[in-house]
Amino acid sequence: MENQVTNNIAFIEEMINKTKQKYSDSGFLFLLWGYFVVIAALLNYFLLNTSFAYPFIGWAVLMPLGGIISMIYSSKENKKPYVKTYTDDVMKYTWLAFGMLLAVLLLSMGKLGLNTYPLVMVAYGVPTFITGGVLKFKPLIYGAIGSIVIGVVSYNYTFDVQLLLLCASILVSYLIPGHLLSIQHKKNKN
């Protein structure tokens, strides 16, 4: 009986580790979205100071492109054989809820005005914090806290400065942890 319990615990740990591996493999999605958001925000910042009629063009191009790339990537990843676990569901619903919240915030930009990007930065922090906890990956946890703090601080600044703070938020919550995940993935492969 004791051997059976030990085997069950080992099996559960193996499934959790496989789920962690699936979500932390290369950090690809953190890097994709991190770079796309930073590029769009910086382009928006620089175009605000020109006579260009559509300073938000980076958002209009990169966000749909990022969505398409994410769907293709996720579709390929989901075709790889693995056992679905409870942790998979937690991660899926966490990021799905974030996507819905982000859509509501962005669709409410007209009413939220200068509060939009601070709320977005705080919102970025929540699923990133959960993911860091599930993966037991401290750079995601610290990055999430940094994103939330930057979001709260950014309420005190104008829109153009908020765009730069958004870049800082993404740097600490997506780009640095994403690169660290990538490095960890390469080490694990060798």
For position 145, what pLDDT does the model report? 98
pLDDT for residue 188: 75
Long-range pairs for 13-21: beta carbons < 8 A, 24 or more residues apart: 15/83, 15/85, 15/87, 16/85, 16/87, 18/82, 18/83, 18/85, 19/82, 19/85, 19/87, 19/88, 19/91, 20/87, 20/134, 20/135, 20/136, 21/188
Contact 28, 73 (CB under 8 A): yes
pLDDT confidence of 75, banded at 50, 70, 90? Answer: confident
Total-model pTM: 0.84
| Spatial CA neighbour of 144 closest among 170, 166, 162 | 170
* pLDDT at 69 > cutoff 80: yes
* Tens digit of each residue's pLDDT (9 = 90 or more) over 99-142: 999 999 999 999 999 999 999 999 999 999 999 998 889 999 99
Question: Quick one: angle between helices 86-107 and 116-135, nearest 10?
Answer: 170
Within 8 A by CB and 6+ apart from 77, the residues are 22, 25
* Domain locations in the chain as residue ranges: 2-189
